[in-house]
Amino acid sequence: MRTDGPVVVALDGSDRSAQTLRWGVDAAVKRRARLVVAHVVAPAVGPWTWAGAPAVPPDTDAVSDDLRAVCHSVAQAHPDLEVAAVLLQGSTVPALAEYSRDAQLLVAGTRSDQTAASLTISTALSWRARCPVALVRDERSTDGAVVVGVDASPDSWFAAGLAAREAVRRCVPLHVLHARRNGHDTQGRETALDVAADLAETYPGLDVRTILTDGDPVRALVEASRTAGLVVVGSRRLRGRRHLVGRRVARLASCPVLVVRDDIA
């Protein structure tokens, strides 16, 4: 994973694009990274649509003008921030996933109705993108703690490290959370304690707290998101289960969720 790449904000022209952009701008400023504002347009397929009507090609000139206007506005508000626009063509998820190879963070918006169908694109990005993906929902305060879900896997250390850096950037506490499904399983709890101790030593000024609970990890993270400013999760499959923890948390969380893929560590 690159740490010197840009922060890419994916805008789709919906009502939530403004809040997604604000979150992405703030992330780029905190990282002192370049900001890229991206939009994907789907090219017309052939001269006719499946319904028999002439296909209308996208007005790329108008979209480009809108992107340039957005970048100009951001640059005026943040003179020290390098801002660029990119117009991608193709299917939304593959185009953004490919473009994210050189990014350190991809920011996408999600809806707040908490239905599975409404999160198809954003959650697909969270397991297809080649960098961590921040899924941003409705506007809300981001002053709460950064919460990271930890289990017994080695990848928890990577996710926790990213979460710690986010907490340092935001000047907020870091909560290392482990939810134990099996009451006799102590390995995950030991990992959480070790992770918290290591991060407290690595970042002496960071307030690191450990939260140990029993039950479903998804439910525990969703509950923690009610007061958190950011939840960090991995997209690893949970013991062979079909659903991904990151996908389920992103669908239900009350705050932005940062999803980290295991294979980009």
* pLDDT tens-place string over residues 189-213: 999 999 999 999 999 999 999 999 9
pLDDT recorded at residue 239: 46
Write out the DSSP string of the chain.
Answer: --SSSPEEEE--SSTTHHHHHHHHHHHHHHHT--EEEEEEEPPP-SSB-TTSSBP----HHHHHHHHHHHHHHHHHH-TTS-EEEEEEES-HHHHHHHHGGG-SEEEEE--SS--SGGGHHHHHHHHHSSS-EEEE-S-----SPEEEE--SSTHHHHHHHHHHHHHHHHT--EEEEEEESSTT--HHHHHHHHHHHHHHHHSTTS-EEEEEEES-HHHHHHHHTTT-SEEEEE--BSTT-SSBHHHHHHHH-SS-EEEE-GGG-
Domains of the chain: 7-136 (3.40.50.620), 146-264 (3.40.50.620)
User: What is the reported pLDDT for 61?
Assistant: 85
What confidence category does residue 118 fall into, taking pLDDT thresholds of 50, 70 and 90? very low
Higher-scoring residue by pLDDT: 44, 151: 151
Hey, which of 10-24, 158-172, 244-258 has the most confident mean pLDDT?
158-172
Model pLDDT for residues 123-155, shown as the tens digit of each residue: 788 878 889 999 998 666 668 999 999 988 877
Look at 247 and 221; give whichever has higher pLDDT.
221
**What percent of the chain lies above the pLDDT cut of 90?**
59
Residue 117 has pLDDT above 50, yes or no: no
User: 20-29, 78-87, 145-154, 229-238 — which is least confidently predicted?
Assistant: 229-238
Residue 234 vs residue 78, higher pLDDT = 78
Q: Is the pLDDT of residue 60 over 90?
A: no
